[in-house]
Amino acid sequence: MSALGLMRSAAALAAILLPGALPAQAQEMRQENVILAVTGTTVRWAAVYKLLPEHSDDPYLHVRVFEHKKGSEPWRYKQLAFHMAVTPQALEKSRSDKKAKIFHYKDVEIRGAYRRWLEDPAVRKDIPICETDILDCVKRLKR
């Protein structure tokens, strides 16, 4: 069997065994890191995700929020929010002009949570939606 034939067979098998896998692969996940706050000892940032093309029923960006103490090892961090939906206005209001070293952490879980948000409207009630400022929303989550 040729390489092209093998690829077609694998794609057909994936379509049968993993319903919805092929359309999701045709979509692109845009990711960006946004600095939220920098102090003398701490950096807070959001890993921001948006699936393209955009879904008409999802006007939000999806974020995971981190805190890292300057000088600590990269693997020592605090996750302030695992998954939060934010409006584009809230993201822009949250951006800091300060520069800082940040890290990229494994994002398999947030990508899966984001896909569940898109595919199952019942999941959406459990995800906080931020319309003001990300760090303000994180503070309100902890209450």
Q: Which of 133, 143, 140, 119 shows the shortest CA–CA distance to 44?
A: 133
Considering the chain, what is the average pLDDT of its residues? 84
- The pTM of the full predicted model, rounded to 2 decimals, is 0.77
Q: What is the pLDDT of residue 57?
A: 83
Q: Does domain 28-141 have CATH number 1.10.3470?
A: no
Order of strands, sheet of 28-38, starting from the edge strand that comes earlier in the sequence = 28-38, 42-52, 61-69, 78-86, 129-130
Point out the residues of the chain with pLDDT beneath 50: 2-22, 24
The residue ranges of every structural domain in the chain are 28-141
HSE, side-chain direction, 13 A CA sphere, residue 143: 5
Share of the chain above pLDDT 90, in %: 59
Specify whether the CB–CB gap between 9 and 1 falls below 8 A: yes
